[in-house]
Amino acid sequence: MVGLTSVLLAGLSGLRAAQTGVATVSQNIANANTPGYVRTEMVLAPRTQIGAGAGVEITGVKRAADRFLATASFIAAGAAGSASARADLLSRAQESFGDPSSSSSMFGMLDEHWSALTQLGVDPASSLRRGDAISSLQATYSEIARIGDSLQGLIGEADQRIADAVSEAQNLMDRIAQLNVEIRLNKRTGADSSSAENAQSQLVDQLGALMDVRVTPQSDGGVHVRTGGGALLVGVEAARLSYTPDDSPYATHGVIALNEDIGSRTNIESFLTGGSIKGLLQARDVDLPGLAEALGGLSGALADVLNSVHNENASSPAVSSMTGRQTGLLGSDALNFTGSTTIALTDSSGILRDRLTIDFDARTITSESPANTVSFAGGGTIDEFVDALNTALGAETPSGTAAFSNGVLSLNLSNSGGIVIQQDAADPAQRAGRGLSHFFGLNDLVSRPTPLFFESGIRGTDLHGLTDDSVIQYQVRDTQGRFIADRSISISGALAAPGATWNDVLASLNATGTGLGEYGAFSLDSATGRITFAASPAFNVTMTNDTTQRGNTGVSFSSLNGLSAASTAGRASEVGVNAQIAANTARLAVGRPNIAGAIGTKIVEGGDNRGATALLAARDSVRNFSAAGVLSAQSSTLANYASRLGGEAGRMASDAERQAAGAAAVATAAADRRGEVESVSIDDELMKMTTYQNAYAAAARVIQAATEMLDVLISIGYR
């Protein structure tokens, strides 16, 4: 009788197993085309509670998931997401530069300017050709500004996309954590958890496209999710990610904080090795700023090269007043000029009426008609030089004036006449590598509201002149992105004392504990006067705020020295043709007077084209260009320098596209290989369906046979 009971139980368990198998197969077939669905399989074991032959027991329904293939798929998907996001932004950045062969591109417009200068050299007196030369240069700088604004827009877009991706990732992490709870509960109660696990797997796949993930199954059900760098995203609970975007131009971006609500200042960015967020960070923080910096470098280099020539030229008639550029200097700064320069004064017809020879080594200004010498041998400051120059001009007939106010030098003649400034051929005047007129921008063709270049020529002993209670703020993180320190250098106390110098500022910046001494070093180049910062290899140091201003110049510490993106990359958007020249084409200086002639001779001629020829020659002269963003320091012509920028933008975009295509192919292959193991095969499932149907019928026949046997036994026993 016991044996017959075993047969009945075996048949009954077979029925249940077959029913569950049919249900499992039906679910698989129904989800055969569901993306990310992993087929489920029924797990059976022999029942031995009442001895051998007691039938089968359903121990569970499990997913046919392959952990190792899934990990490979996560890695590949993360790499593809990163490469795709980066390629998208770099491709659009390259498109903003346009086709170099097109006349409407920045490069084509620059070529148009050189062509216009060539035509101007044929007829320098033509107002039409002067206008063409100026308008072509304006168009070039307008295009540079458009590209610069486009790059800043892409940086802002990347930042906003990072914020959106972080928000999406947080939502996915929360749902994964919620499903962890459901899966554990199902496991404990013996219920089928495969549906919840499938839903969770699809969420993890989505998260893996945003940031590379590694998944660790837990013995009690559910998973732990970490980034490729080891940061825990989902454990018992979901971690908290937070990020505040700032899409304003030249913004100092924050970091993606991990669990900031519990006081953690962990930056998760260094723990990301893939995913679209990683690609967006790379584009926002490295690629696009590098292109923007290089574009700003080209804008500044083009302006500086043209200005260096234009300041040696003269217009016809020569201008009677000159207003220089914003230098960011104070009158108390050391003059720091060497060599000689000459200021020629003409009448309205271009006839030379006097020469003022400025000898910066002897600190004298000597005029010839009438003969006179004015000394500025006192303390050698800018104010003392300008006072001496004002005295020398005041002695002229008609008289003139010189003034230096709020960082700007200006020269004026009281009546009609002209001013021409040229370097001494044998001993040219120099401050930080530029002549008098060039350094102060007295006859600039191209201008900017803030310093165009950062070789200011200041000395460590100069008064720093930074306004009281202003502040320079930095944040320090290690190479893994972990917060180290905030440093704030305030212009107060000893630094606000009347005699405080740049050396004192450098000492405060380099102080240990209160400055950045443990994390890098600020230094002042004695040849150029530029202050630079070199971070220690173990740290990343970022300027977060600068409220300083040098006197009433409006120039901050960072803009004076080019220590911020706004000061360097900003040259792309802020540089343009001098407003006075744009408004009056006659001020375009295309002549090169010979001011060494005798007093009373004509030195300014309307048909003089030597200045236009010199401007055109500046295109092909080899110069030293400093490193700027993606462009390394190099000796090159201006034309080649511009071409290299276009080539670098194209190279970066094409490299990113190739990387994205390769990563996408690998991700597809990894997904296909995973799908071969985990996905549903209709043919296989139909075979299983037939098997389970046959098993169900067989189990039913076993029960029927056992029932008939039982009926026979009962009837025998009854008789």
> How does pLDDT run across 627-680, given as a tens digit for each residue?
899 999 999 998 899 989 999 999 999 999 999 999 999 999 988 888 778 777
pLDDT at 62: 73
- Residue 35 near residue 76, CB atoms below 8 Å: no
Nearest-10 crossing angle of helices 127-189, 288-310 = 170
CA–CA separation, 474 vs 509, rounded Å?
A: 10
With cut-offs at 50, 70 and 90, classify the pLDDT of residue 30. confident
**Residues in Cβ contact with 408 at an 8 Å cutoff, skipping those fewer than 6 apart:** 323, 324, 325, 326, 327
pLDDT at 165: 97
With cut-offs at 50, 70 and 90, classify the pLDDT of residue 63. confident
pLDDT tens digits, residue range 484-501? 999 999 999 999 999 999
Mean pLDDT lowest for which of 69-73, 345-349, 590-594?
A: 69-73
Question: Is residue 683 over pLDDT 80?
Answer: no
> Residue 321 forms beta bridges with which residues?
412
How many other CB atoms are found less than 10 A from the CB of residue 525?
13
Residue with tokens 């006659």: 586
Mean pLDDT lowest for which of 277-286, 402-411, 443-452, 670-679?
A: 670-679
From 265, 258, 266, select the one nearest 234 (Cα to Cα). 258
In sign, the C-alpha dihedral spanning 600, 601, 603, 607 is: positive
The pTM (predicted TM-score) of the whole model is: 0.89
Higher pLDDT, 564 or 11: 564
With cut-offs at 50, 70 and 90, classify the pLDDT of residue 249. very high
With cut-offs at 50, 70 and 90, classify the pLDDT of residue 612. very high
In sign, the C-alpha dihedral spanning 156, 158, 159, 161 is: positive
With cut-offs at 50, 70 and 90, classify the pLDDT of residue 5. low
Question: Mean pLDDT across the stretch 328-336?
Answer: 96
CA–CA separation, 154 vs 247, rounded Å?
A: 9
- Name the phi and psi angles at 322, rounded to 5: -135, 130
Question: Mean pLDDT across the stretch 121-140?
Answer: 94
Helices (H), 522-570: 557-561, 565-568
Helices (H), 419-570: 436-440, 502-509, 557-561, 565-568
CA–CA separation, 538 vs 571, rounded Å?
A: 31
Question: Is residue 51 over pLDDT 70?
Answer: no
**Residues in Cβ contact with 167 at an 8 Å cutoff, skipping those fewer than 6 apart:** none
> Is the N-terminal amide bond of 35 cis, ω within 30° of 0?
no
With cut-offs at 50, 70 and 90, classify the pLDDT of residue 196. confident
pLDDT tens digits, residue range 138-151? 999 999 999 999 99
CA–CA separation, 391 vs 411, rounded Å?
A: 12
CA–CA separation, 538 vs 708, rounded Å?
A: 84
From 571, 581, 604, select the one nearest 323 (Cα to Cα). 581
CA–CA separation, 583 vs 592, rounded Å?
A: 22
Residue with tokens 């006072």: 387
Reduced to 3 states (helix: H, G, I; strand: E, B; else coil), residue 364 is strand
Question: Is residue 50 over pLDDT 70?
Answer: no
pLDDT at 70: 85
Question: Mean pLDDT across the stretch 60-89?
Answer: 87
From 466, 462, 481, select the one nearest 383 (Cα to Cα). 462
Question: Mean pLDDT across the stretch 544-556?
Answer: 96
- Name the phi and psi angles at 530, rounded to 5: -90, 135
Terminal Cα-to-Cα distance of the chain (whole angstroms)? 17
Long-range pairs for 531-538: beta carbons < 8 A, 24 or more residues apart = 531/502, 531/506, 531/557, 531/560, 531/561, 531/563, 532/561, 532/563, 533/563, 537/479, 538/478, 538/479
pLDDT tens digits, residue range 277-317? 999 999 999 999 999 999 999 999 999 999 999 999 999 99
Question: Mean pLDDT across the stretch 698-713?
Answer: 78
pLDDT tens digits, residue range 507-547? 999 999 999 999 999 999 999 999 999 999 999 999 999 99
